[in-house]
Each structure stands twice: as C-alpha cells, then as structure tokens.
C-alpha cells in the first residue's frame, strides 16, 4: 500500500529539483495547477499519463513512487550530456517542448 502524502511530497521534491513551478510542471504534464497542487498535497493520486509526462520532463518517477532514487542512469551520462540535461531542466516548459520537437525532427531526418 502506498501513502499518497509521501508520494505527493516526493513529487513536490522532484518538481523543485527540476527547477519548475507548479504552473510549469502542470503545463508540461497537461494538467491544471490545482490538480498539480492536489497531487503534491496527497489529496489525489497522479495518473499514469501524468507520471509518464513527468518522466519525460526529467522527474525520477521510481523515486516518486517508491522513495528510492534512480541514480545509475544519471551517473552513466558523460559530463556534456549531464550539462545539457541540467540546462534543459532550467528552461521554460514551452522551450523544452520546442527543443524536443527540434530533436525529433533531427532524428527523423537522420533516417531513424
């Protein structure tokens, strides 16, 4: 059994670690700020769709759900990759979306 308040607190921790306001996190995950606040307060449980979008934004979803950090993936990044990821997390959500579209177009153009 999970404790919604603990999950909500870890979700808030992750949002702050990623340098996002509740408005930015909500917009990036396709919800309204009130829903984001309810998730963080443990008043309601985050949906799988929300958690999938949060993961794409850099949230450590296994940590949110279990309290165990997933450090191995971050440690496997080169210094350049880590720098890019850190910079990405600090730009506005709208710019993150634009960057993802740009990278997808580059990937598609490369024939992948």
Average pLDDT, the chain: 88
Cβ-count burial 82-108 (b if 16+ within 10 Å, e if not):
eeeeeeeeeeebeebeeeeeeeeeeee
Q: How many domains does the chain have?
A: 1
* Burial zone of 42 (CB within 10 Å; 0-12 exposed, 13-18 middle, 19+ buried): middle
47: domain CATH number is: 1.10.260.40
User: Could you tell me the pLDDT band of residue 33, with boundaries at 50, 70 and 90?
Assistant: very high
Range of the domain at 9: 4-109
Query: pTM of the full predicted structure?
Result: 0.64
CA distances from 92 to 2, 20, 41, 65 (A): 32, 8, 24, 25
The pLDDT, as a whole number, for residue 74 is 61
The pLDDT, as a whole number, for residue 105 is 93
pLDDT exceeds cutoff 70 at 72:
no
Residue 81 tokens read as 């990759």
- Give dist(CA 51, CA 49) in Å, integer: 6
């Amino acid at each position: 059994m999970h404790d919604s308040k603990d999950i909500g607190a870890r979700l808030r921790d992750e949002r702050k670690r990623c340098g996002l306001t509740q408005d930015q996190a909500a917009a990036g995950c396709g919800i309204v700020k009130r829903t984001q606040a309810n998730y963080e307060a443990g008043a309601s449980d985050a949906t799988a769709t929300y958690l999938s979008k949060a993961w794409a934004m850099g949230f450590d979803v296994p940590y949110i759900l279990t309290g165990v950090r997933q450090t191995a993936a971050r440690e496997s990044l080169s210094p350049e990759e880590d720098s890019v990821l850190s910079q990405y997390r600090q730009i506005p959500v709208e710019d993150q979306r634009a960057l993802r579209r740009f990278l997808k177009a580059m990937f598609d153009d490369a024939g992948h």
